[in-house]
Amino acid sequence: MMSIVAIVGRPNVGKSTFFNRLIQRREAIVDAVSGVTRDRHYGKSDWNGKEFSVIDTGGYVRGSDDVFEAEIDKQVELAIDEADVIIFMVDVESGVTGMDEEVAKLLRKSKKPFFLAVNKVDSAMRENDAVEFYSLGVEKYYTISSINGSGSGDLLDDLVKALPEKEERTEEDELPRFAVVGRPNAGKSSFINALIGEDRYIVTDIAGTTRDSIDTKYNRFGFEFNLVDTAGIRKKSKVKEDLEFYSVMRSVRAIEHCDVIILVFDATRGFDGQVQNIFWLAQRNNKGIVILANKWDLVEDKDNSTVKEFEAYIKKECEPFVDVPIVFISVLNKQRIFKAIETAVDVYKNRSKRIKTSELNEEMLPLIEAYPPPQHKGKYVKIKYVTQLPTPYPSFAFFANLPQYVKEPYKRFLENKLRAKFNFKGVPVTVYIRKK
């Protein structure tokens, strides 16, 4: 299980700069498409061989100065709820502020591990100035400079030691996990209630009433799996939280810990930016994906071509990963909800598929010979061999004499041929070109 590290603190202390430094450590920004989880405030990093997700809460604080304080309290509370470890960032230039003291108080009360990072320390004099941050009641602080990275190694050495150890999976955990995700009020909990035929979750009309991710063991079509609602019951007093940030935190955790995501969206609202963010998050994490257009009964002026047109619109938004099943459902009328689960089971099987090396080479090498990679500066690329890699999702290594000359369009050609031959519908496929 991937741990989540949240960076919190008041505005303009350098959270985003430090976040960018962390995620560039591995070039694993979730997507180059702008707006992925709000301008890419989510990414992955690793240090000393430990991988973790990083969330920059700064991107979620909105409003004028007078509401900043309440917003920041809210972000810190959410980070405390969701993150495994917290980096609390302050700014040596402005010294200790009232808002810093407020954040420190919340963190001390939480008992969650947190690390105080004093930013913008780039000289010996500033090193001395940092001493005043002891007044925040911490045993130790770390002086860093987000801009040039100095001091961040010591902070990260201690941070990764505080990350929880990966839990051993129990037999129950070995069951495939299908996570139901989507933006608030799309009908996620109603979908699960309709499937299991009882009100296992409280469902209300208030957006975002779900709180903790709850697993339900489910058995259908002779296939057993855990159904995960990115959700749980939450007190009404909390409903005023920043729902976008909340649903991102919840989706991140659910997506990283599942095999297939069932992405539910409200067809009357369209396949909008936030739904697309969740889609790309799942795609970048190599998860199986099924898209459910819910509330299809409420879409007006439907005719025979409406489904095709709507499908084409969704696929346009999902390019280049368009080999994804889309099921049009109405949770309210229980229309096609079992079709949705049957499709998710198929996608899981596609994701787990192993193809014999001999079969792969028999199918792919003649194709490659008929359509070889374009020559580069008079040099010919020859691909001699292909094998599937031992990853939990479909990834393939093609061995070539000059791998550096095989460009993205040709990799996409190989991916499309693999899809056509072996059916990987709903699953991202990764193609590597390696030196033979």
Q: For the chain, give the percent of residues with pLDDT over 90.
A: 31
**Residue 252 scores a pLDDT above 50:** yes
CATH number of 357-435: 3.30.300.20
Give me the mean pLDDT over the 208-228 stretch.
66
65 is in an annotated binding site: no
DSSP string, 368-411: HHHSPPPPBTTBPP-EEEEEE-SSSS-EEEEEES-GGG--HHHH
183 is in an annotated binding site: yes
The Cα 254–Cα 181 span in angstroms is 8
374 is in an annotated binding site: no
270 is in an annotated binding site: no
Give the start-to-end residue ranges of the domains of the chain: 3-162, 177-352, 357-435
9 is in an annotated binding site: yes
**Residue 7 scores a pLDDT above 50:** yes
What is the pLDDT, as a whole number, of residue 224?
81
What is the pLDDT, as a whole number, of residue 405?
87
pTM: 0.65
15 is in an annotated binding site: yes
Of the listed ranges 226-235, 256-265, 299-308, 410-419, the one predicted with least confidence: 226-235
37 is in an annotated binding site: no
Give me the mean pLDDT over the 312-319 stretch.
89
16 is in an annotated binding site: yes
173 is in an annotated binding site: no
**Residue 236 scores a pLDDT above 60:** no
251 is in an annotated binding site: no
Q: Is 47 helix (H, G, I), strand (E, B) or coil?
A: strand
Instruction: Indicate the pLDDT class of residue 327, thresholds 50, 70 and 90.
Output: very high
Residues 349-367 have pLDDT tens digits of 999 999 999 999 999 999 9
DSSP string, 234-263: --GGGTTS-HHHHHHHHHHHHHHT-SEEEE
Average pLDDT, the chain: 80
120 is in an annotated binding site: yes
Residues 77-94 have pLDDT tens digits of 777 777 889 999 999 988
- CATH class belonging to 3-162: alpha beta
What is the pLDDT, as a whole number, of residue 67?
56
Instruction: Indicate the pLDDT class of residue 347, thresholds 50, 70 and 90.
Output: very high
Tokens in use for 82? 């969701």
153 is in an annotated binding site: no
- Are both 3-162 and 177-352 of the same fold? yes
CA atoms within 13 A on the CB side of 114: 31
- Cα angle value 264/223/325 (rounded, 5°): 35
113 is in an annotated binding site: no
Residue 379 CA, chain-centre distance (Å), reads 40
Place of tokens 């130790």: 140
10 is in an annotated binding site: yes
295 is in an annotated binding site: yes
**Peptide bond just before 320 cis, omega within 30 deg:** yes
58 is in an annotated binding site: yes
205 is in an annotated binding site: no
81 is in an annotated binding site: no
CB of 290 closer than 8 Å to CB of 324 = yes
184 is in an annotated binding site: yes
352 is in an annotated binding site: no
Q: Which residues contact 224 (CB under 8 A, 6 or more apart)?
A: 175, 217, 218
- Greater pLDDT, 9 or 78: 9
**Exposed, middle or buried by CB within 10 Å (0-12, 13-18, 19+), for 323?**
buried
CB of 291 closer than 8 Å to CB of 36 = no
Place of tokens 């989510």: 42
Place of tokens 């997507």: 31
CB of 45 closer than 8 Å to CB of 54 = yes
CB of 414 closer than 8 Å to CB of 369 = no
For the chain, the 3-state helix, strand and coil shares in percent, each to the nearest 5, are: 40, 20, 40
186 is in an annotated binding site: yes
Query: What is the DSSP secondary structure assignment for residue 152, as one 8-state letter?
Result: H
209 is in an annotated binding site: no
What is the pLDDT, as a whole number, of residue 432?
93
- Domain 177-352 belongs to what topology? Rossmann fold (3.40.50)
What is the pLDDT, as a whole number, of residue 298?
86
Residues 106-133 have pLDDT tens digits of 888 888 899 999 999 988 888 888 999 9
Nearest-CA neighbor of 178 among 53, 342, 60? 342
For 407: left if phi > 0, alpha if psi spans -120 to 50, otherwise beta; the answer is: beta
140 is in an annotated binding site: no
